[in-house]
Amino acid sequence: MENLTFTLKKKTVTIFLIMIAVGVLSLAFGFFGGIEGKRVAANLLLNIYYFLSMGLIGLFFVTVHTIAESGWQTSVQRVGEAMSMFIPVGGILLVLFFVLGGLHSIYPWTHSDHLDAILLKKVAYLNEPFFYIRLVVFLGVWVLLAYYVRKTSLALDVKGDLKYFSKMRTLSAIFIVTYAITSVVSSWDWLMSLDPHWFSTLYGWYVFSSMLASGFAMLILILYLLKRMGYMQHVNDEHMHDLGKYLFGFSIFWAYLWFSQYMLIWYANIPEETVYFYVRHKYFSDVFYINLILNFVVPFLLLMTRKSKRIFGMLVPVSIIVIIGHWFDLYMMIMPGAVGGEASGFGIVEIGLTIGFLGLFGLITFRALTKAPLAPKNHPYFKESLDYHTHY
Examine residue 1 and tell whether it contacts other proteins (CB under 8 A).
no
Examine residue 203 and tell whether it contacts other proteins (CB under 8 A).
yes
Shortest CB 28 distance to other proteins, Å: 38
**Residues counted in the chain:** 392
Examine residue 262 and tell whether it contacts other proteins (CB under 8 A).
yes
Which region, left, alpha or beta, applies to residue 387 given φ > 0 means left and ψ of -120 to 50 means alpha?
beta
**H-state helical runs in the chain:** 10-32, 37-68, 77-84, 86-97, 103-106, 117-121, 128-159, 162-190, 203-228, 237-268, 271-283, 285-292, 298-302, 312-338, 348-370, 382-386
CA nearest 362: which of 209, 219, 181, 260?
A: 219
Examine residue 291 and tell whether it contacts other proteins (CB under 8 A).
no
- Of 32 and 267, which CB lies nearer to other proteins in the complex structure? 267
- Of 248 and 361, which CB lies nearer to other proteins in the complex structure? 248
Shortest CB 280 distance to other proteins, Å: 11
Examine residue 263 and tell whether it contacts other proteins (CB under 8 A).
yes
Q: In this chain, which of 92, 115, 144, 252 binds other proteins, going by CB under 8 A?
A: 252
**How far is the C-alpha of 327 from the C-alpha of 341, rounded, in Å?**
18
**How far is the C-alpha of 30 from the C-alpha of 5, rounded, in Å?**
40
Residue 159: Cβ within 10 Å count = 11
Examine residue 133 and tell whether it contacts other proteins (CB under 8 A).
no
- Of 152 and 261, which CB lies nearer to other proteins in the complex structure? 261
Which region, judged by CB under 8 A, interacts with other proteins, from 98-106, 117-125, 313-321, 370-378?
A: 117-125
Examine residue 266 and tell whether it contacts other proteins (CB under 8 A).
yes
CB 56 within 8 A of CB 138: no
Give, as ranges, the residues between 53 and 72 that touch other proteins (CB under 8 A). 68-72
Examine residue 380 and tell whether it contacts other proteins (CB under 8 A).
yes
Give, as ranges, the residues between 145 and 174 that touch other proteins (CB under 8 A). 162
- Of 255 and 339, which CB lies nearer to other proteins in the complex structure? 255
Q: In this chain, which of 96, 181, 293, 311 binds other proteins, going by CB under 8 A?
A: 181
CA nearest 320: which of 301, 294, 288, 300?
A: 294
- Of 99 and 304, which CB lies nearer to other proteins in the complex structure? 304
Examine residue 376 and tell whether it contacts other proteins (CB under 8 A).
no
Examine residue 299 and tell whether it contacts other proteins (CB under 8 A).
no
Examine residue 274 and tell whether it contacts other proteins (CB under 8 A).
yes
Q: In this chain, which of 259, 311, 317, 345 binds other proteins, going by CB under 8 A?
A: 259
Encode 318-355: b = buried (16+ Cβ within 10 Å), e = exposed.
bbebbbbbbbbbbbbbbbbbbbbeeebeeeebbebbbb
Query: In 3-state terms, what secondary structure has residue 323?
Result: helix
**How far is the C-alpha of 316 from the C-alpha of 313, rounded, in Å?**
6
Which region, judged by CB under 8 A, interacts with other proteins, from 30-38, 220-228, 267-275, 363-371?
A: 267-275
Examine residue 272 and tell whether it contacts other proteins (CB under 8 A).
yes
CB 358 within 8 A of CB 19: yes
- Residues of the shown chain interacting with other proteins in the complex, contacts defined by CB under 8 A: 68-72, 118, 121-122, 125, 162, 177, 180-181, 184, 188, 197, 199-205, 245, 249, 252, 256-257, 259-272, 274-275, 277-278, 281, 304-306, 380-381, 383-384, 386-392
